[in-house]
Every structure is written in C-alpha cells, then in structure tokens.
Chain A
C-alpha cells in the first residue's frame, strides 16, 4: 500500500529539486545588470504599485482566456488518450464532441477578431 506512493514521492522530490535548482543556478550564474524595471516586483508585466483602478489592455484578457481554454482541453484529452483503446467508441464520440465545441469557440474567437494583436 505505502509502496505505491513511492513514485509520487520521487516526483515530489524531483519537482522541488528542479525548482530550487533553477532559482539557485540562475542566481549564481546570471550576469547582474539591474534596471529600475528589472528591480520591480514581478506582477505579470503590470506596474505593481499605485491605484488599482486603472485601465489595461483587453489583450491580456484575450490571451489569458485562450490559454485557459486550451490548457483545460489538454488536461481533459490526455487521460482519455492514455486509455483510448480500452474505452472504445462511446467516449471517443464524447471527446470528439468536446473538441468540436472548443473548435467552434476558436472559430468564433477568430472570426470576431480576438486573435488579432493590433
């Protein structure tokens, strides 16, 4: 029982090491040329201090929402793809419908001009 959790522990260890290693390595290795922009706390490209009621470009929102949609699509598709042979045709049709729905959303976004940057 407890044995089956060992791979999970290994993943956890690798993840932590990876994250810490990246942070430490870039701290040691990178050349340091600070500018005021670089010295600011990171806030997804926005200025982190000041009034909260200011306008920002709708593009942030468009990119974020497109990302979320396709991110979730992957999350739902991968478990299905892993077991596709055992599951058979019923789930295939269901997943196909799911992808079609997302494709319709993409067509809508495209036609509406949501993918145009300028």
Chain B
C-alpha cells in the first residue's frame, strides 16, 4: 500500500502504532481509576498495558511489511528506520512493564497512572523516531519527557525518588529550552523546520551561516543532554539512582534509544551538508563520554549507580556511530540499540529481584555469594554483564563490532582506539559484580535479605533476554540484516556525502 496522503485515512494509517498506544494508554488510565484502590495490587493493569504494546507491535509490523510512502517530505516518516526503532521502544517498554509488575504491587504505587504514563512515554518516543520535522521531534521529546519526569518521582513516599523527579524535571526542561532555541535558529537559517527541506537548503548553500552554526550547536547540546553525554551527564547518576528501579531501566534503555534515533536522523539526514562543522565537536563529546563514563563507573559502590555510569559509557559508544554518519554506522546503531535495550533492562531486572522488589540491596557487597545462593539468577546476571562489557559470543560484542565497522568506514581511527581501550576498562567494573557473585562470601545477615522469589514474569524476561543475547551473539545475521535494511531507508533523498 502506498501512502500519498490523498485521503485523510492515510494519516491514520501512517500513525497507526502511535494511535493504538494513545488510545490504549487512556484505557489503562481509566481502568486504573475505575477499580477500587483496595482491589488488589493492579497487576492486571500491567498485563492490559502489555496487550496494548503487543497490538502496537503488530500494527507496526503491518506498516513494515506492506506500506510505503510517496516522497520524503512528510512530517511523519513511514520508513523502515522509524519502524525498526518503534519495535525497540515497544520491546523496551514491554520489558520494563514486566519487571514493574511485582515492584508496583509491592511498593503500592498507583498502577493505572504508572502503566499509562509508560505507554504515553512510548508514544512520545515513537514520534521522536518518526519525525521528519523538528517541531514534531520537540513534541515527541516533551511527550516522552513529561511522562518520564512523573515516573522518576513516582514513589512519593521515597525522598530520593522525589529528588530524582525534581532534578530531572528542572534540568530536562532547561535542556528542552536549548533544543527549542536550536530549532528556532535552524528555522531562521534554513527557512523550514522540515528535515528534508533543511537538508536541501544546506546542500544548496542558501542557509544563513551566522544562524545555522549556533543553531546546530544548540541542537547538539539539547540532544547530548537527552542521551546523557559528558559533559551534560551530571543529572544521570542521581536521577537513575533515585528513580524506582524499573523506571531507571526504562530510562536507561528506551529514553536513550529515542534520543539517539532522533539525533541520528537530524544530524545524518538534515545536517549532512554541515558534517565538517559538527563532526569535530561530536568527536570530542563521544571520546570524553566513553572515557569519563567508564572511568567513573570503576569507583561506584552501588550497582544501580554503576549501571547509570555504564549507560553513559554506552551513550559514548553510540555517539561514535553518529560521528561516523554512514549507512553501516546507522544500521550498527539500530542493532546496538536493540541489544542494549535487552541487556540493560535484563540487568536491571536482576537488580529489582535482588532488591526484593524495593530499593534495598543495591550495594555491590549485597551481591556477594549470590551466584551460589541463587545459581540461575547468578548465571543470567553474569551473561548480561558479559554482554554489557562486550564479551565475544554475546550480542554485546557483535553490536560493538558493527559500531567499529561503521567508524572504520569513516576512518575514525583514534575514536576506534578510544572505544576499544575504554571497553577494556569497562570489563573491570562489570566483572567486579560477577566476581562478588561467585568469589565472595555473602554479607552478614544475607539470608534474611535474600530475594524471596523471582516473580514468574521477571523470570521469563530474564531467560528470554539472555537467550536472545546468546543467540544474537552467535548467529547475528538475521537481526543485522533487518537493521541494515532499516537503516538504508534513512537517507532516501539526502544521501549526499560519502
């Protein structure tokens, strides 16, 4: 089916996954207030939200398989890059909801609001991934961020959660201002907020350089904040540590993925003609992010905080793909985002379980001897950590390898060296957790603090994600081809610089 927007129905088609989730989010919200507060822990609302995500994934698949668009000027792209990214967001949200089920019930959070906010945030992410217009990107960013601000401070009985929510809100609003000002300047310089039109104006040299360069710098600042690149990362450890752990997992995986997808589309498609100007700055940001993220992660004593710095470091690896800005790097980025989502949320699922569905047991000492007390959990966590570190045989290795391929194609030799060296550094802090799990004694009184049970749903998520990681680490071809095919659609018309 070809979408040419000759009838209004085509607009509905192009936005089908978003519409499904919007309506579903409202259904979950109303279902949440319709039930009596004492009527049980609200897990059925989580399953309801998961059903909505499944439906959105199916409609997304329908768009992927049979629908194309006429031209590339529309505000909303119907290309495979967007649809692949949508799947990543849906997967991330689904995993986050599954690991939330017991947590929300145990912490007596308000289930209806919690799950519907996640769904609305996913709608925002989808808009960021699909937007071919800077205003749509901003709209999606705000929709996503407002949901996440509320989620970060969702546990109102916990002071640290409130602090995380407020901190993220204040700094996030500030960063949104940078992004919006950047959009305004780019609009002033290029005469349009449409990314395709901006790309054409840049190619023709009809932009006003005095406005364009500051605009690009401000855009980069806004995006760098959202992907938590150094030096715009100061909020990350506190917010990730304070937010409820399943929300932290969602933030670390999906929010970052959405920001990267929009980042890539704006810079690689829209500002392709200005590559010489922005590549240098992003080169330095990528290098500093990789080094600082990994080095600071070395000295963390809380596993949650360590994973926060690890997510900063992974943001640095992904920035390398944006600096490389070629098709290999774009498909590498998509593949990396998929793998990163799975392994990050998997690792946080273990943190939630060890924390006994609360914020307890987050110190690294609490993982002492865990492998012997809970062998299955220990093995799964070890595989997830190895994959995060990029150990050969896991999907994390393949993903990093493809980022490096993309970087090599653009001849970013120094960046490649930094990436590899900082990865070596990262082995230390990932494997330190594994070392505590298998080589250390349990902390005194650990038996009483042990995770009583791993909820069944969390178990399924853990096993499936570890299975995918190992499978994609050994036979990555199918997923890689999907990612490569999706990334090809990105530069329909732009396709300029080689």
Contacts and interface: CB of A to CB of B under 8 A. Distances in A.
Contacts of B11: 90
A90 B11 CA distance: 10
Interface stretch (B27-35, B361-369, B402-410, B477-485): B27-35
A89 B30 CA distance: 28
B26 interface: yes
A108 B8 contact: no
A107 B34 CA distance: 10
Nearest to A90: B8
Contacts of A107: 30, 33
A111 B26 contact: no
Contacts of A89: 8
A76 B8 CA distance: 20
Interface string B20-47: 0010001001100110000000000000
A93 B30 CA distance: 22
Q: Which of A93, A104, A107, A108 is the most central at the interface, judged by chain B CB atoms within 10 Å of its CB?
A: A108
Nearest to A112: B33
Given A101-B26, A104-B26, A111 B8 contact: no
Interface string A103-118: 0100110011000000
A104 B34 CA distance: 12
B29 A104 contact: yes
A93 to B, nearest CB: 7
A64 to B, nearest CB: 17
Counting chain A residues whose Cβ lies within 8 A of the other chain, the interface size class is under 10
Q: Which of B22, B26, B34 has the most chain A CB atoms inside 10 A of its CB? A: B26
B342 to A, nearest CB: 33
Nearest to B25: A104
A22 B90 CA distance: 57
Nearest to A100: B26
B279 to A, nearest CB: 41
A112 B31 CA distance: 12
- Quick one: which of B8, B22, B34 has the most chain A CB within 10 A? B8
B470 to A, nearest CB: 43
A111 B8 CA distance: 35
B441 to A, nearest CB: 47
A93 B8 contact: yes
B431 to A, nearest CB: 47
Interface in B2-24: 8, 11, 22
Nearest to B12: A93
Interface in A56-94: 89-90, 93
A23 to B, nearest CB: 36
Contacts of A90: 8, 11
A112 B30 CA distance: 10
Contacts of B22: 101
A104 B30 CA distance: 7
A112 B113 CA distance: 11
Nearest to B11: A90
B297 to A, nearest CB: 36
B21 to A, nearest CB: 13
A93 B11 CA distance: 12
A112 B116 CA distance: 15
A107 B22 CA distance: 16
A103 to B, nearest CB: 10
A71 B8 CA distance: 28
B9 to A, nearest CB: 9
Contacts of B34: 111
Interface in B31-70: 33-34
Nearest to B116: A108
Nearest to B19: A97
Given A93-B8, A111-B33, 15 more contacts: A89-B8, A90-B8, A90-B11, A101-B22, A101-B26, A104-B26, A104-B30, A107-B30, A107-B33, A108-B29, A108-B30, A108-B33, A111-B30, A111-B34, A112-B33
18 contacts: A89-B8, A90-B8, A90-B11, A93-B8, A101-B22, A101-B26, A104-B26, A104-B29, A104-B30, A107-B30, A107-B33, A108-B29, A108-B30, A108-B33, A111-B30, A111-B33, A111-B34, A112-B33
Interface of B: 8, 11, 22, 26, 29-30, 33-34
